[in-house]
Amino acid sequence: MGNLHISLIQTDLFWEDKFRNLEMLEKKIAAVEAATQIVVLPEMFTTGFSMQPKLFAETMEGPTIEWMIEQAALHKIILTGSIIIEEDNKFYNRLLWVLPTGQVAYYNKRHLFAFAGEDKEYTAGNKRLIAQVNGWKICLQICYDLRFPVWARKQTPDEYDLLIYVANWPERRNHAWKTLLCARAIENQTYVVGVNRVGKDGHQINHSGDSMIVDPMGQVLYYKAEDEDIVYMELEKNVVLEAREKFPFGKDADSFSIEL
């Protein structure tokens, strides 16, 4: 179980302009350090946080999935981020987890942001995705999920080692974003990665980025506000194991189940 090499792309997005976003992101992925294993893109990275799925949704055989498979294979990386997917006449804010082999796993956003009408346009997911990479277990979630700690709460001390959030989280509520990322790390004794966009969307809502990497004790290892950025970091598995061994708080946790 070695260390994990991960890169975050904090970027502005062209509003509801899929192909300009893919062209831009292709250049940024090419600029990522060669050692990386995972590259994380923001939520709805092809459109911004759009409430027009009828116009912009793709199927799982669509051009963005093909693009992700090509990029993952070309750079020998795992590529992840969320896009709008249509399936069985329903729309999903779907996080894709694309391996360099071409295999694709996914997570449908569980908590839909009713404040912006997301619940009217999209269907909520009903199961978590925990992926495995090089001995690491990685729980994958999307933006508003961050406000609901039960959905991220580990049911066993070693259920996962890293929690990733991809987001379009507005600047006006960035204090909550930064605070909750640290809280999820502390309460679950896990690394937390939050990747947010920057810039104004089509509704002139500003996003300040504030992407972060937080260690299992809640210490911020990386933080960037306002500007576009590409960051590479090596996460140490021993840090997770030592935190759980030195402070075995998970043994005292309440058992629970989630009813959907």
Confidence (pLDDT) at 51: 98
Q: How many residues are there in the chain?
A: 260
H-helix or E-strand containing 209?
A: strand 206-214
Return the CATH fold of 4-251.
Answer: Nitrilase/N-carbamoyl-D-aminoacid amidohydrolase (3.60.110)
Active-site residue, 109 included: yes
What whole-number distance in Å separates Cα of residue 260 and Cα of residue 243?
A: 32
Confidence (pLDDT) at 34: 87
Confidence (pLDDT) at 1: 61
Active-site residue, 139 included: no
pLDDT per position as a tens digit, 68-125: 999 999 999 999 999 999 999 999 999 999 999 999 999 999 999 999 999 999 999 9
Confidence (pLDDT) at 259: 78
What whole-number distance in Å separates Cα of residue 70 and Cα of residue 75?
A: 9
Q: Which residue of the set 18, 58, 139, 143 is catalytic?
A: 143
pLDDT per position as a tens digit, 224-241: 999 999 999 999 999 999
**Mean pLDDT in each 10-residue stretch from start to end of the chain (260 residues)?**
93 98 98 95 98 98 98 98 98 98 98 98 97 97 98 93 98 98 97 98 98 98 98 97 94 86
List the end-to-end C-alpha distance of the chain, in Å, as a whole number.
34
The total of other beta-carbon atoms located within 10 Å of residue 77's CB is 22
User: Which sequence spans correspond to the domains of the chain?
Assistant: 4-251
Confidence (pLDDT) at 136: 97
Q: Which residue of the set 18, 109, 154, 224 is catalytic?
A: 109
Q: Determine if residue 74 is left, alpha or beta; phi over 0 gives left, psi from -120 to 50 gives alpha, anything else beta.
A: alpha
Confidence (pLDDT) at 257: 85
φ/ψ (deg, to 5) at 28? -70, -35
Contact in structure between 222 and 194 (CB atoms under 8 Å): no
